[in-house]
Amino acid sequence: MRVVIHPEATVRTWGRLFSSESGDTVDVVVPPLAESISDGTLAQFLKRPGDRVNADEPIAQIETDKVTIDVSSPESGVILKLLANEGDTVEPGNKIAIISRSADATHVAPSETISEKAAPQPTQKVSEEKKAPKVETAPAKEKPKTPPATLKSPTEPQLPPKERERRVPMTRLRKRVATRLKDSQNTFAMLTTFNEVDMTNLMKLRSDYKDAFVEKHGVKLGLMSGFVKAAVNALQHQPIVNAVIDGDDIIYRDYIDISIAVGTPKGLVVPVIRNADTMNFADIEKQINTFAKKANDGSLSIDEMAGGTLTISNGGVYGSLLSTPIINPPQSAILGMHSIVSRPTVVGGNIVPRPMMYVALTYDHRIIDGREAVFFLRRIKDIVEDPRRLLLDI
């Protein structure tokens, strides 16, 4: 049992879970990642040997299949040595750096490490230069052989030189996304149905109440909350879309968790709005804004992306007019939103311009029949075109 008395000991007690001490130095080790994740890739070091760090200051980032985790310094000091390289696969408990508590010793260590690594290089170059004159005559005899090689097959296609290509390892997140999408394609009997939605009334609703909404709730009223509410209502009318196949059984889920697909520079992440059926427009908008900020700075947790019963993907923010989204397992359907385009539409016998959006529902045809899929998408259309249906439950 450990008793903490001084404030500075609090940091040390927390840091000891992720470090090991040896006299003046402290070993920085990889912290626990998550229950379902056994290892990760050391993406980058944020600090270098000789840099001073404070307690709890991030010194490295580890990329897992889903999120990027910061490795923080357990104590204040100076980076003495790095024990791993960027790109290495590391596990919880692996040592990745050594921190010295004293400032004097740290400014010597970097020069020592650099000199140790740099010292062999000149000798290697000198030895190569000494050996080079002995081989000078060999390349001179081989040079005439290269031109005939290119003339033997003049009909072969001229490929770009390798110097103009770059080979970059896939990140863990990108590999995970690629695996899940391919597994989805191989597992589900995917079929997509389409419809178009007149966005006039939902856009007017937002325009009329946007100022009052921000004043009361402190968040802007967007279109996504309207589609989330519509999707919740449609799932309640077509519960089979909210179900999933598990072996020879069908699991009907009596809760509604809506996943929101968010594109980031590192890859696609899908945070989940829990119990969306119990939330109002303001709650949904606040949750979406929180997820967007976390996705951009890479601070989404694994728990925030686990589960979900239906995914909504909005390709319209990138200008997509129409697409066939891929199901996010273990869900059975995904709703695709697209860009809003003013198109001529017949209203009351007259042709008028209206803001129209194509919507798509990709579903697992093994569990969802075409009838239920069309009814589901039609319900989305009806509610978005007339949000008053939500108040009257019709």
Active site residues: 365, 369
Strands (E), the chain: 19-22, 25-29, 40-45, 52-53, 58-63, 68-72, 77-82, 89-90, 95-100, 190-198, 244-246, 249-251, 258-260, 262-264, 267-269, 272-273, 310-314, 333-337, 340-347, 350-364
**77 within 8 A of 51, measured Cβ to Cβ:** no
Phi, psi of 304 (to 5 degrees): -75, -15
Q: 129-154 as b/e, with b when 16 or more CB fall inside 10 Å? A: eeeeeeeeeeeeeeeeeeeeeeeeee
| Helix, strand, coil percentages for the chain (3-state, nearest 5) | 40, 25, 35
**191 within 8 A of 363, measured Cβ to Cβ:** yes
Distance CA 385, CA 60 (A): 49
Cα separation values, 217 from 185, 212, 221, 285, 286, Å? 41, 8, 9, 10, 9
